[in-house]
Structure 1
Amino acid sequence: MPKKAGRKGGGRNARMTEEKRLLYMQQKAQAEEDIAKRKEDTLTHFIKVINYRKRRGTQTKTAELRNDMSVLSQNFERVLDYKDNIIKLELARSSHQQNVAYLLELHMRRLAELELNFNAILEELTSEYNTERYTHTNTQKYQILSKHQQESVYLEKVMFSMEKHYTYLDSEARRDYQSTRNQIKKQNKEDKQTVKDQIEGVVEKLWRELQHVLHHYNESTKDRFITTESLQIKDKIHTHKKHIQKLQESISALRCQMGETAQQLHSGRDELAQKVQHFRVQLAEGQTIQRKQLTKLTIQSSNATKKLQEIQRKGERLIRFSEMCCKLETEYEKVLPFYTSSLSEEKLNQERANAIELPTEKLAQLMHDYLPLGKFWQRYNKHYVVQEAANILSSQLFLASVYQLCSREKKQ
């Protein structure tokens, strides 16, 4: 008797250890889920803080960059205005040169007209000279010739001095134009270099100012960043404390629920054990019945397969024979495959009526089942008759040939 009591007590201790193990596993899973949730919350909070800092930094940088862009755009507009003024000056100079060229062209036209007038006057004078030459005396002719020579020399000197003067003016104008052009090019290059140096200096100055402002901003916000991080850590600690308190309360409530559920599970387990035992007995009986049915079905299926294989072989043989018959059919048989029946119409009608009536005897029923083979037997009988007729004909021909040979021998 005491031994039995000891065994029962050992079973209870084992059950209690199993309950504790289940509680431990559930608590462990719950704690892992809580840790994962905390990690997710911290990550989301950290990402939000980083995004906020990035937004603030981008806002300040965009404002500074906008100011820099406005300054650079103003400088660029000044350079553009200066370039526009240079282009306008070049256009005015080119228009002035065009006007000078136009004046030179007008002057050349005037000179051409003067030359034409001079030639006309010269022709008139030559004509007058020729007329006077024949009319005047030698002294007068000599005076006129000398005067003409003096005037021609004077005119040649005037032409030479004018050409020299205009060539000098042209060379001076060309030299002035070339010098002014070179001076403008040099001035333009110097202006470009000065503007480039100014822009580089402004950009370097703005870059230094930007670096200084950024360093100042980082230094000024360093303490605030540290304070925000410390406050965030404090908030996390406070939230974790609240969460731990909630977890402790939930653990105590779960322990009470687990105790109640453990009692319910013990009672349900005993009931399930009885039901399982009953179901096992029923399942064993069902398995034996099913095994018998399976063996019976396997035997029947093997027999059926054998019969079907025999029927299949017969069908294949019939198909081969039918194919051979179709190959050996003559043209006449294809047109008229069956011989005409020797029965009268009344007997044929009677036979058809008997075929329509349902048979009662077993042999008649079998004949009724094999009615579709009637045409086959007709074809078979026809070929058999043809074969016999061919044999008779061959024998008759053989006898006739023998008879002819005998008659020939007798005649000889």
Structure 2
Amino acid sequence: MLMQQRHKLQKDTQLEVRNTKYNMSRIQESWLKIMRSAKTKQLKKQVEIISQNHERDVDRKDAILQMLDRDLDEAEEQHQVAVRSHLLNVDRLLEIQQSRLLALDEEFQRDVATLREEFRIERENIQERHALEKRELALIVEQVEREEKNREMADITDHQSQFELIRNKNIEEDHQMRSGLEEQIEETRARCKERLQAYEKSTESSTTEYKEYLRRDASLSDQVERRLRQVERMQAAIQHWKQKIAQNRQECEERNQQLRTEKDHIAKHFQELKAKMNHFRTEGKKRLADLTMNARNCIKSLKDQLGLAERILKTAELCRKFETEREKVLPFYLSRDILQEFEEGELEFGDEDLKEEIRKELTDVGIDEWTYLDNFFKRYNKVKLDFHAVEQEGKRLTKENVQLRSILKQFLDGVSVNEDVLSAPNPLLVVNGKVNLNHVPVKRAADKTVYVEAAHHAGNTVVRR
């Protein structure tokens, strides 16, 4: 009995579980319909709001485009006026530059003609002076050679005459001395023979006679020595005159060598002057070529600068098309007005000298070296900020577009039922009171949640057995 009751209770429990599951599915289905209709209304309201905002944006963009079209026409007219004035200024500058170049060319030609005339006159003067000096030097050399030849001939004649005179005198003295000596020798020989005969006759001789002979022999020896010394003096005189002749010859050779050296020096000086003149000609040609090249390079540089200026102006005109109204009216944004704050007393300084110096620097309207590129940096920073702002706005719009696409996809998934939609998280499917949305829903104060009591739902719902 107990087992039957337990078995019956188990069957009732299983039946109750099945009925509960079936009723829960019916409840969820009806609740899904209610939530789907509420979500559809909400999405329709959002789509209407978005479409109205889009229409307003389109109208605003159309107005902006019309305004930009008018600005473009005005800018085009201003550009045409600026281009015409620029072309007139460029033509005027070209005429001024051409006239300046013609004047410089004429001045250069005059300078070249003057330099050529001065060079010709100086060359003629140098040539005349050189010819005159050359003639003078030739006359001097000829006169010196003539004098040296005459002096040499006179010295040779004097030397020959003295040599002949001394030689004749020596020959005569030699003959005289030789004849005297021969006579004395003959006399001595005769006396010796007589003495020998007398000695032979008388075997005894006296000492006085012997001494007399010795004295005579000594006197004769003295005479011979004197004659020999006289001969030596004659030979010394001959040697002296030979040395004098050699000395005169050496002096003449040295003088001739000096004249040759001076002649070579004059020739070398002439070659140096000629080399200097050739160098001056070469330098003149080189300077003329350098001047021509510099003039050509100057013209080329001016043309390059003119082309660069034209490109800068063209680029500026092209960039002006992309400027806003505010940039056209005020091209450069104003920095912080420190001078106004300084005058109002917002900035405090402990030193009066420092305050006066800062006031002087702030009131100085001159252009310093470090402020040359301030306007360029202002424009560059402005463009950089605009670029980053546009980039951030693009990212924001991309994110908003992705979010709107996600909402639209969720709406389409909610209004259509298929296997892919049911297998994926469905935003309109509520499980355990949770909604499977991919984004955080926007909470609005006007939206009111519909509440249904469980007793009312249980009383009005038929439970299937």
Normalising by the residue count of structure 2, what TM-score does the alignment of the two structures yield? 0.27
TM-score normalised by L of structure 1: 0.30
Q: Of Structure 1 and Structure 2, which has the larger fraction of its residues in helix?
A: 1
The structure showing larger relative contact order (alpha-carbon pairs under 8 Å, at least 6 residues apart) is 2
